[in-house]
Chains A and B, each alone.
Chain A
Amino acid sequence: MIEVQDLSVRFGEAEALRRISLTLTPGERLGLVGESGSGKSMLGLALMGMLPEQAAMSGRLTIDAHDLSGAADREWREMRARKVAMIFQEPMMALNPLRRVGDTVMEPLRLHLGLSKSDARRRALELFEETGIQDPEEKLRQYPHELSGGQRQRVLIALALACDPGILIADEPTTALDAHVALRITDLLTRLARDRGMMLVFISHDLAAVARTAETVAVMYGGEIVEMGPVGQVLSDPKHPYTKGLLHARPTITGGELRKRLPMIPGNVPALADLPPGCRFSGRCAVELPHCAGTRPAIHAVGGSRSCACHRVPEVMDGAME
């Protein structure tokens, strides 16, 4: 169980995360989507207690009833091994080039579970099998450069699962992989989460991958969650203008022909320090009102378990903007 309440992360004046609140129940799979710089990776790191040193965090963060709001690194280290684990974007970079991958996976087993060398090896072998690595015996002895990208990502997943964590945070795990391999990795993550009853936080800018993997989706923009809800509902019937824009900008095949030019959201994501004080999306929003840039939108409940942070939500709900 993860509970995040009004979590903010500041770097001096710049607010990288603002007022994030979310709850994850055991076994839930959450997708975090957003553009680069939307704060989705920052949120992932905050859940791992791995924010950069200069970052100042406020708000509440509770994992399995442990209040980790102001936890020391020692406390986090215990959490990281057994409760939360993470996999990264670049499987090429995330393995020590000088160590056999088997040793890398065995390390947390020996360190945190106190397994003997032969037990750790056996467990690592099981993990390799579970993550679908071919010839696991042989792969244990290999170095990262001898493995393909997909295999390395599987090794990293095995490493993350070593101490049987309740939560797995996957930070764009498929971005560096080709489409076919990416699909197999997302399916593997979904299966593992389901089989193990593990919470999965799937961070991605790929809406299709999120739709395939997650049950709940949180759309992030400018360090805030602008819209959240069951993935099917949010993607088929977006409420926030940003989500609408994001979905609109997807390439789709209509009438058997790819649209020539993709519609886009005007403008760029502003630098962290230049974000408007009110609604972060003001300035790029198609349905903006004069007070949007100055006033923070409240988080409105929009039916069922959905929420949306937009001043115009009531009107959106009425369908006045369609």
Chain B
Amino acid sequence: MTTRAINLRIGAFLVIVLSAVALLSLVWTPYDHTMLSVTEKFRPTSAAHWLGTDQLGRDVLSLLMAASVNSLAVAFIAVGVGGAIGTALGLTASACGGWVETAIMRLADLGFAFPALLFAIMLAAAFGPSLSNAILAIAFINVPIFARVARGAANQIWTRDYVLAGRAAGASQFSLTVEHVLPNISAALIVQATIEFAVAILAEAALSYLGLGAQPPMPSWGRMLNEAQTLMYLAPQLAIYPGLCIIAAVLGFGLLGDGLRDVSDPRLARGRA
């Protein structure tokens, strides 16, 4: 089996398990993750609590499951919104060319130069820390990334003969973009989106860890890490479990994106095999 197949398989497996757990948690978790218990604090692994309980007596497995929804939803919305805006900008740049292209791409450079964390802190300072501000900040960093990817891939498609043939048949720049360019760059965009998913999950965890993301009682892997930090000597497992979840999610989407890229670009794959 080639490396790319392994990448793809491990990545796909992790992503599927994660998504399945997240979906399951919408209808069922072992316990209510908001249920506190004074008597059941810091329980180790047991038949009743598979991953034990935390400092407030909440079931850790239930918390982790509920938090996975949060992570995936944030990544999905942020990458979706940022990716859509970025792709639209990149396609516009590519279709118009000239000063429009230059202006959009220089703006994208500006976006790249602007630290995402700083933007998140600014948003938190202006509007108060919340998950929606975290989503906004993550979406923001995705815009220039997708603008670049879309513009680069689209510029290649514009040189193809079928675009020329479409133009010879009287199609406008807009319909050429929608009919020919966008479908033919979708592979590159999907690969990028998968990789950015991993980045977004990490970013959400980081922002929540810093208190700029999910607010209590909303469960979040990042905030669980933050809360476990002061208890590291007492109950290290409370930090390890959410850490492992973050690793699994980031690794899963990262490997899946890598594997998809290899599959979608046979030249690259042959070089590696």
Contacts of A77 in B (CB 8 A): 170-172
Given contacts A88-B161, A98-B184, A99-B183, contact A111 B170 (CB under 8 A): yes
Contacts of B190 in A (CB 8 A): none
User: In the complex, which residue of chain B has the Cβ closest to the Cβ of A156?
Assistant: B165
Residues 94-116 of A, flagged 1 when their CB comes within 8 A of B and 0 if not, give 11111100000001100110000
- The one of B161, B168, B170, B179 in contact with A78, judged by C-beta atoms closer than 8 angstroms, is B170
- Asked if A96 and B162 make an inter-chain contact with CB atoms under 8 angstroms apart, the answer reads yes
Which residues of chain B in 162-218 are interfacial with respect to chain A, using CB atoms and an 8 Å cutoff?
162, 164-172, 175, 179-180, 183-184
- Asked if B170 and A96 make an inter-chain contact with CB atoms under 8 angstroms apart, the answer reads no
A81 on interface, CB distance cutoff 8 Å: yes
B106 on interface, CB distance cutoff 8 Å: no
Given contacts A77-B172, A96-B179, A96-B184, contact A50 B165 (CB under 8 A): no
User: Distance (Å) between the CB of B214 and the closest chain A CB?
Assistant: 40
- Asked if B184 and A90 make an inter-chain contact with CB atoms under 8 angstroms apart, the answer reads no
Chain A contact-residue range equals 20 to 34
Contacts of B165 in A (CB 8 A): 86-88, 94-95, 156, 159
Contacts of A195 in B (CB 8 A): none
Count of A-B residue pairs with CB < 8 Å: 71
A48 on interface, CB distance cutoff 8 Å: yes
Given contacts A93-B162, A96-B183, contact A111 B168 (CB under 8 A): no
- Asked if B168 and A160 make an inter-chain contact with CB atoms under 8 angstroms apart, the answer reads yes
A112 CA to B169 CA in the complex, in Å?
9
The B interface, classified by DSSP as helix, strand, loop or mixed, is helix
- Asked if B184 and A80 make an inter-chain contact with CB atoms under 8 angstroms apart, the answer reads no
A317 CA to B14 CA in the complex, in Å?
83
B30 on interface, CB distance cutoff 8 Å: no
- The one of A53, A97, A162 in contact with B184, judged by C-beta atoms closer than 8 angstroms, is A97
User: Distance (Å) between the CB of B237 and the closest chain A CB?
Assistant: 50
Contacts of B171 in A (CB 8 A): 77, 107-108, 111
A60 on interface, CB distance cutoff 8 Å: no
- Asked if B160 and A93 make an inter-chain contact with CB atoms under 8 angstroms apart, the answer reads yes
A82 CA to B170 CA in the complex, in Å?
8
Contacts of A162 in B (CB 8 A): 169
B97 on interface, CB distance cutoff 8 Å: yes
A163 on interface, CB distance cutoff 8 Å: yes
Residues 14-57 of A, flagged 1 when their CB comes within 8 A of B and 0 if not, give 00000000000000000000000000000000001010010000
> Which one of B161, B179, B183 has the greatest number of beta carbons of chain A within 10 Å?
B161
Given contacts A81-B170, A82-B170, A107-B171, contact A99 B164 (CB under 8 A): no
User: Distance (Å) between the CB of A50 and the closest chain B CB?
Assistant: 6
User: Distance (Å) between the CB of A123 and the closest chain B CB?
Assistant: 14
Contacts of B180 in A (CB 8 A): 96, 99
- The one of A53, A93, A99, A107 in contact with B169, judged by C-beta atoms closer than 8 angstroms, is A107
Report the 8 A-B pairs with minimum CB-CB distance, sorted nearest first.
Answer: A81-B170, A93-B161, A86-B168, A94-B161, A80-B170, A94-B165, A108-B169, A96-B162
Q: List 5 A-B contacts (CB under 8 A).
A: A50-B164, A77-B172, A90-B161, A98-B183, A160-B168
Question: Which A residues lie at the B interface, using CB under 8 A?
Answer: 48, 50, 53, 77-78, 80-82, 85-90, 93-99, 107-108, 111-112, 156, 159-160, 162-163
